[in-house]
């Protein structure tokens, strides 16, 4: 989901985000909790670094043969009774899911949090087709009521405090004003329980899809994943082909990498491992299971220089560590994918024209790469994207300075001249906000050359031993 | 690791995840279950939830060891509880979902549980009624100590890496931190998970040898 049609302006969006002190404090508080829980959880587990290497190697195996694995997964889960749909792009995936709902004559759907469904703007497509979609992850439900976007991948409504949530529930659910957190959670339980029981469609993503067995794996703490895949008569699972892991024996290792990196939990409250729709004689589960396998550029990415971005487990560990994300929060990215992995993935999925400056939302500090459970080289990818963006652009300033530097006489003369000018006209460059140098001087002071001899003279004298 | 070490590992990790693990004997079951049932109807704390049928317990129809389901049913009846189970119909089972959604406790047999993650293993199947472990406010799982496995990898290996149609791992109560990062239980599933191990001795309780 690219939110705007116009190119995204991260600098502009981050100015208002930084000014929002409530957002900033909430994002940093949440990130700090996740960071310390992750650290504690990893410290008590021997061999986590080896597990990260293993995770990367298994993901390299998949991204090296992405289409083959997608086919194997599709064949297996079809053999288990599911109906598989391949979607080339976002529009096709949304159309497939909408078509399923319309053909069933469905009007209500419950949804368990799915980034891939966000990527294809599924809610909007279903609403247009007359299907009411209720988000059932509590955080997602809160921001759905508020008409806002997630500020954190794991804790989407963290920018709203309890009073704001109480007001929303008062307005939309008719609860008394000023409820405490516990009562708010119970009010949500009551409302969403009714939605689960009435829903005609359950929409999910998948945290993993096992090729060998044709199995979908969902990880939740609230239990909404279990409800969504047990109560409605139809389940539609939407997943990118990058979610595939080769074998069921890979699952325990990936679960450990995911939950310890995301929240520091040994495991999430619920892991739901689904291999096909309800079987004859069973009293639970959907009669129909549709699996929408989304490419949307992934098979192309797998063959290019950013292949490992497909390895992302969506754990959020890189967000929590990132100094830029911690300063601005999720909204400023104006994309479903935020933080370091979003800086890389958004321009790759929607084009550099749509997200021209997200590769700059990075200080190259490397903390994201340190935290990534599958060792995606995120800082390196930021740098590569900047290089790609620069290629083909007219670099007149760089070209001119290269020409000057290549000619010693010209270089000496121009630098000396510049020194003289700056020494006598201090205000010439500083304080300017317009023009080619404006980006530099709006936030920096160019120091006035000192009274000393200048570097070149100083160097010459030093060579002569007269320092 | 020895069996008792694996069990000790389970107990430590499951308790840390918020599961109330207790070691009792089958004979203790009435004495331990009755107060829980009473507490659910009387001191409903926190404030009453949305279920108008506090004296309703949900049970799976199949998968129980010989006689245990009947014993549980007798204890429930003696405490004034009505029992709801998947009904056997021609061609399979069916839940009365609306009633099930109002039950205050679900009691299930849990044949296997995992030490490494402190998880209960719930396979689906005809009459296995896993919704009894999801929709009520309280979930009580019953097991024998011999059901303890090291972890998911061992569990899968024992089965030659084949899976039931649906397998659920349950580790502690349903929880959310989505409002102000305040951890709250019972958002969709049970707010309380109890696990009674019907034989064996609590490895965390000091006891005299012999």
- pLDDT tens string B98-110: 899 999 999 999 9
Q: Quick one: angle between helices A162-173 and A181-198, nearest 10?
A: 40
Whether a cis peptide bond, with omega within 30° of 0, leads into B46 is yes
pTM here is: 0.90
Cα separation of A203 and A215, whole Å? 16
- Beta carbons of B178 and A162 less than 8 Å apart: no
- Beta carbons of A137 and B86 less than 8 Å apart: no
Nearest CA in chain B to A143: B178
For A282, which of B124, B172, B180 is closest by C-beta distance? B124
- Beta carbons of A182 and B168 less than 8 Å apart: no
The closest alpha carbon to A358, from A5, A8, A43, A3, belongs to: A8
| CATH number at A19-300 | 3.40.50.10420
Model pLDDT, residue A96: 98
Pick the CATH number of B3-197 from 1.10.10.60, 3.40.640.10, 3.40.50.720, 3.40.50.10420: 3.40.50.10420
Q: Where in chain A is the domain with CATH 3.40.50.10420?
A: 19-300
pLDDT at position B43 over 60: no
Tell me which chain B residues have a C-beta less than 8 angstroms from the C-beta of A231: 97
Domain range annotation of chain B? 3-197
Scan for tokens 């929408």, then name that residue. Answer: A292
- Beta carbons of A284 and B116 less than 8 Å apart: no
**What are the C-alpha distances in Å from A439 to residues A12, A394, A421, A431, B155?**
13, 17, 21, 11, 60
Cβ neighbours of residue A423 closer than 8 Å, sequence gap 6 or more: A448, A449
* B13 touches A: beta carbon within 8 Å: yes
Query: Is the model more confident about B111 or about A20?
Result: B111
Percent of chain A at pLDDT exceeding 90: 78
* B202 touches A: beta carbon within 8 Å: no
- Beta carbons of B168 and A186 less than 8 Å apart: no
CB-hemisphere CA count at 13 Å for A126?
29
Tell me which chain A residues have a C-beta less than 8 angstroms from the C-beta of B162: 213
Tell me which chain A residues have a C-beta less than 8 angstroms from the C-beta of B49: 186, 189-190
For B49, which of A181, A186, A271 is closest by C-beta distance? A186
For B178, which of A139, A190, A285 is closest by C-beta distance? A139
Mutate to test the interface with A, among B108, B188, B191, B192 (most CBs of A within 10 A): B188
Nearest CA in chain B to A140: B178
Model pLDDT, residue B47: 47
For A186-219, how does the pLDDT look when each residue is reduced to its tens digit (9 = 90+)?
999 999 999 999 999 999 999 999 999 999 999 9
The gap from C-alpha A119 to its chain's centroid, in whole angstroms, comes to: 10
**How many CB atoms are closer than 10 A to CB A398?**
11
CB-hemisphere CA count at 13 Å for A394?
1
The CA dihedral of A218, A202, A319, A49, to the nearest 10 degrees, is 10
Sheet strands side by side (includes B166-170): A244-245, A208-210, A215-220, A270-274, B166-170, B119-123, B113-114, B148-149
- Beta carbons of A282 and B46 less than 8 Å apart: no
At A339, phi and psi to the nearest 5?
65, -165
């Amino acid at each position: 989901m690219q939110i705007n049609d116009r190119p995204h302006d991260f600098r502009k969006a981050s100015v208002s985000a930084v000014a929002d002190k409530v957002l900033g404090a909430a994002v940093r508080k949440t990130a700090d909790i996740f960071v310390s829980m992750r650290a504690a959880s990893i410290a008590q587990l021997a061999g986590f670094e080896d597990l990260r290497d293993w995770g990367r190697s298994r993901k390299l195996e998949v991204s090296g043969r992405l289409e083959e694995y997608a086919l194997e997964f599709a064949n297996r889960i079809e053999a288990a009774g599911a109906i598989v749909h391949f979607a080339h792009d976002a529009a096709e995936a949304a159309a497939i899911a909408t078509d399923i709902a319309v053909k069933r004559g469905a009007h209500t759907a419950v949804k368990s949090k799915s980034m891939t469904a966000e990527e294809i703007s599924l809610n909007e497509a279903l609403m247009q087709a007359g299907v009411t979609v209720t988000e059932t992850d509590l955080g997602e439900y809160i921001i759905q009521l508020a008409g806002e976007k997630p500020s954190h991948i794991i804790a989407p409504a963290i920018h709203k405090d309890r009073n704001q949530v109480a007001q929303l529930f008062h307005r939309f659910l008719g609860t008394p004003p000023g409820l405490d957190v516990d009562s708010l959670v119970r009010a949500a339980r009551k409302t969403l329980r009714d939605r689960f029981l009435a829903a005609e469609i359950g929409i999910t993503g998948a945290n993993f899809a096992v090729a060998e067995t044709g199995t979908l794996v969902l990880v939740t703490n609230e239990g909404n994943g279990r409800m969504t895949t047990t109560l409605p008569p139809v389940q539609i699972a939407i997943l990118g082909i990058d979610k595939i892991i080769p074998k069921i024996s890979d699952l325990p290792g990936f679960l450990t990498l995911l939950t310890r990196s995301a929240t520091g939990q040994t495991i999430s409250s619920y892991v739901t491992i689904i291999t096909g729709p309800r079987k004859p004689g069973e009293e639970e589960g959907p009669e129909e299971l549709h699996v929408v396998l989304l490419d949307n550029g992934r098979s192309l990415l797998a063959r290019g220089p950013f292949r490992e971005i497909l390895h992302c487990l969506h754990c959020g560990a890189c967000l929590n560590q990132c100094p830029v994300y911690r300063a601005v929060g999720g909204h400023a990215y104006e994309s479903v994918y935020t933080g370091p992995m979003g800086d890389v993935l958004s321009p790759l999925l929607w084009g550099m024209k749509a997200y021209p400056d997200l590769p700059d939302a990075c200080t190259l500090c490397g903390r994201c790469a340190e935290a990534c459970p599958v060792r995606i080289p995120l800082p390196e990818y930021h740098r590569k994207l900047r290089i790609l963006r620069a290629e083909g652009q007219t670099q007149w300033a760089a070209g001119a300075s290269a020409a000057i530097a290549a000619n010693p006489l010209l270089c000496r003369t121009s630098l000396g001249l510049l020194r003289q000018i700056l020494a006598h006209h201090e205000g010439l460059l500083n304080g300017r906000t317009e023009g080619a140098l404006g980006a530099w001087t709006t936030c920096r002071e160019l120091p006035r050359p000192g009274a000393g001899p200048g570097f070149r003279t100083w160097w010459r004298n030093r060579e002569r031993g007269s320092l | 690791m020895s069996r008792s070490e694996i069990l000790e590992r389970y107990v430590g990790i499951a308790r840390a995840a918020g599961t109330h693990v207790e070691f009792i004997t089958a004979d203790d079951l009435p004495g331990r279950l009755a107060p829980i049932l009473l507490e659910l109807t009387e001191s409903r704390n926190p404030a009453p939830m949305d279920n108008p049928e506090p004296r309703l317990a949900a049970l799976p129809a199949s998968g129980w060891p010989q006689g245990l389901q009947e014993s549980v049913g007798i204890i429930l009846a003696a405490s004034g509880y009505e029992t709801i189970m998947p009904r056997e119909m021609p061609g399979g089972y069916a839940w009365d979902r609306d009633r099930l959604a109002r039950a205050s406790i679900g009691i299930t047999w849990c044949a296997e549980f995992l030490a490494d993650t402190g998880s209960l293993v719930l396979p689906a199947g005809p009459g296995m009624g896993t919704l009894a472990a999801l929709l009520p406010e309280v979930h009580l799982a019953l097991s024998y100590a011999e059901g303890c496995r090291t972890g998911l990898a061992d569990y899968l290996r024992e089965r030659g890496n084949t899976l039931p149609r649906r397998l659920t791992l349950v580790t502690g109560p349903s929880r959310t931190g989505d409002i102000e990062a305040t951890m709250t239980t019972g958002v969709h599933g049970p707010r309380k998970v109890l696990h009674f191990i019907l034989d064996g001795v609590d490895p965390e309780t000091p006891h005299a040898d012999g």
